[in-house]
Amino acid sequence: MIRLEGALYPWRFRVVLALLAAMVGAIGWRIVDLQVIDQDFLKEQGDARSVRHIPIPAHRGLMTDRNGEPLAVSTPVKTLWANPKELLGAKARLPELANALDTDLAALSKRLEQQAEREFMYLERGLTPEQGEQVLALGIPGVYGLEEFRRFYPAGEVAAHVVGFTDIDDRGREGMELSYDEWLAGVPGKRQVLKDRRGRLIKDVQVVKNAKAGKPLALSIDLRLQYLAHRELRNALAEFGAKAGSLVMVDVKTGEVLAMVNHPTYNPNNRSNLQPAAMRNRAMIDVFEPGSTMKPFSMSAALASGRWQPDDKVDVHPGWLRIGRYTIRDVSRVKDGVLDLTGILIKSSNVGMSKIAFDIGGEAIYSVMQRVGLGQGTGLGFPGERVGKLPNHREWRKAETATLSYGYGLSVTAVQLAHAYSVLANDGQSVPLSLLRLENAPEPTQVMSKDVAETLQGMLQQVVEAPGGVYRAQVPGYHVAGKSGTARKASVGSKGYTEHAYRSMFAGFAPMSDPRIALVVVIDEPSKGGYYGGLVSAPVFSKVMAGALRLMNIAPDNLPPPAETQTVALPEAKGGRS
């Protein structure tokens, strides 16, 4: 006779039924809880699978020159992306997509296979909106679009080194784009949308957060002067077969950089064949020995000492000076072997400058150069800017004193040199440099005696206008002042100097009635037609300064006197009609 196990142990059966009932009750309670009491949970889970937040791109701030001309603008572009899982499910349409993107089918297929487990990959970035919509109109599964912005630079290569550029993600990578990235960069917004399980947009729900555009930035440079300087520097490099060149123009009164040009340069709108050397802002980064352009500052130290006056004489015969193992030589020969202080600047006599330096000491010269900003940062905050080197010795020996007095043994940038000459032009007052347009001129600091600065202005005017001076730097209709310089290039990786390698320089300011513009031209390794600063760089100074003075509407101060008018008596008419 067979008996059921449950009949022998009725309590077990009841326990199982109780457990099943409890489980059913728990499930029922959870259903009621989710559907009636705690509805937010299921709503959140549903939203997590359908509600998405899409970023709203924000364009960068507009960058302009001082007159409002655009230097960097943001333009809308279309970025195409794909869900590899979906796209691989429609392999038959890959040839159509590859053709629309003008890309290799095999390369596209390989990329998709490598990222098959992902749900996102870029197909193409930076397309025009029209190009992007043409691809999206094909309706290929797994292909989607994003709105982005791309930077465009209207001035191209002319202002490339100052403005810089952004990367593909619209982040600043060079120049002012990098320096002021946080200021220029916008804050992306956020839009809430509904999508299906395939990622297709069903409904645009609402804007959660509005995009905030970047702030505008007005630079100090004048695009008119930038184009002028770019053209003349490029022509000079071609004429003299030079390796590179830089030009810096500064407003003497405000410290604003009105133009900054370098060659070679590059086009920031097309960087496919960009060479790293062309990206370098040489005016801010390259340091060099300034040569004879330093003699006015050494001369200012002599005048400030009270031991020397402009008409004092120095014997420079026989044109060379021996100091231990070193020989200091003059390029120009002086007929009677005697020069006054102005004559030392006109003839650029190393011997005469050295003898004055021995009398006042190297410390006095160092002090002047340090006060006008050499060996220090300019405060511009430009990426990669170098400060150069201004040596200071516990004991100034004759060789060190002499070389510093005529511009060797120290290193400067073109921007520092322009700033130093702006101090001379501004009656000994130093104004901080700025690459941004200023509404009000900053408070100047007197770093050199006004009397000394004015005396040097007259001496440097004679350097350009006196017989035997640097006549190629003269500007028709204006009195100008300046000093040329020619320096040998130091060897890279070894001591000494490279044979037949020079830098040609000219630094000056105008107009002399009330100096407004300081200008520095540096040309690297001219290889034909000569290499002296007065021959190579001075003509560039003349042409750029002439154009700048006219464009800035600065009145001439060197016009010839008007011709005297003569009154001519006409004979009286006899008869006829009047």
Give, in words, the CATH class of 57-218: alpha beta
pLDDT digits (tens, 9 = 90+) for 274-291: 888 899 999 999 999 999
26: tokens are: 């728990």
Q: Are 314 and 352 in contact (CB under 8 A)?
A: yes
pLDDT score, position 1: 46
From the list 74, 179, 220, 292, the catalytic residue is 292
Which residues are within 8 A (CB) of 456 and not within 5 positions of it... i.e. 6 or more apart? 296, 299, 300, 303, 424
**Residue of 439, 299, 284, 269 lying closest to 369 (CA atoms):** 299
CATH superfamily membership of 223-269+278-551: DD-peptidase/beta-lactamase superfamily (3.40.710.10)
What span, in angstroms and rounded, lies between the C-alpha atoms of 572 and 576?
Answer: 11
* Cα(484)–Cα(537) distance, integer angstroms: 8
Residue 574 has pLDDT above 80, yes or no: no
287-305 per-position pLDDT tens digit: 999 999 999 999 999 999 9
Instruction: Note whether 57-218 and 223-269+278-551 share their fold.
Output: no
Interval 105-146: pLDDT, tens: 889 988 888 888 887 888 998 888 899 889 988 988 888 888
Q: Quick check: is 292 catalytic?
A: yes
Of the pLDDT bands very low, low, confident and very high (cuts 50, 70, 90), residue 495 is confident
Whether 482 and 515 have beta carbons less than 8 Å apart is answered as no
Do the bridges between strand 63-64 and strand 217-218 make them parallel or antiparallel, or are there none, so unpaired?
Answer: parallel
Task: Provide the residue ranges of all domains of the chain, joining segments of one domain with +.
Answer: 57-218, 223-269+278-551
* DSSP run (H or E) holding 367: helix 362-371
* 295 within 8 A of 406, measured Cβ to Cβ: yes
Tell me the one-letter amino acid at 243.
K
pLDDT digits 0-9 by tens, 145-160: 888 889 999 999 999 9
Paired tokens of 528: 């034909």
Read off the DSSP letter of residue 187: B
The span from the CA of 322 to the CA of 191, in Å, is 79
